[in-house]
Amino acid sequence: MEDLGISADYNNILFFLSRRNVKYLIIGGVAVRYYIKDRTVKDLDILINNTDSNTMLLQYALADAGFKSKSLTELYLLSEKNRKRLENLRTMIQLTEDDIKIPNGMDIFTPTKPNIFNEIYARKNPDYIRGIPVAFPSLIDSIKMKKEDDIEDQQKKMKNLEDIRLLEEKLLGSISN
DSSP 71-123: HHHHGGGGSHHHHTTTTTS--EEEE-TTTS--SS-EEEE--SSTTHHHHHHHT
Residue 14 lies in a domain: yes
Check residues 85 and 77 and name the one with the higher pLDDT.
77
| Residue 159 is assigned to a structural domain of this protein | no
pLDDT band at 70 (very low <50, low <70, confident <90, very high): low
pLDDT of residue 99 exceeding 80: no
CA nearest to 46, candidates 101, 103, 117, 148:
117
| CA–CA gap between residue 84 and residue 168 (Å, rounded) | 34
Is there a domain that residue 172 lies in? no
The burial class, CB within 10 Å (0-12 / 13-18 / 19+), for 19 is: middle
In a domain, 115, yes or no: yes
Taking CA atoms, 150 is separated from 30, 48, 53, in Å, by 18, 19, 28
Which of 5-19, 80-94, 115-129 has the lowest average pLDDT?
80-94
How far apart, in whole angstroms, are the C-alpha atoms of residue 172 and residue 155? Answer: 26
Q: Is residue 166 part of a domain?
A: no
Report which of 35, 57, 25 is spatially closest to residue 171, judged by C-alpha positions. Answer: 35
How many domains does the structure of the chain reveal? 1
> What range does the domain containing 80 cover?
8-138
Residues in the chain: 177
In a domain, 177, yes or no: no
Residue 153 lies in a domain: no
Q: Is 104 inside any structural domain?
A: yes
User: Quick check: 19 and 61 in contact, CB under 8 A?
Assistant: yes
pLDDT over threshold 90, residue 167: yes
Q: Which residues of 108-134 are buried (b: 16+ CB within 10 A; e: fewer)?
A: bbbbeeeebbeebbeebbeeebeebeb
Most confident of 44-53, 92-101, 163-172: 163-172
pTM for the model stands at 0.82
pLDDT of residue 16: 93
Which CATH number does the domain housing residue 30 bear?
A: 3.10.450
Q: Please tell me which residue, 152 or 86, carries the higher pLDDT value.
A: 152
Under the banding of pLDDT at 50, 70 and 90, the label for residue 62 is confident
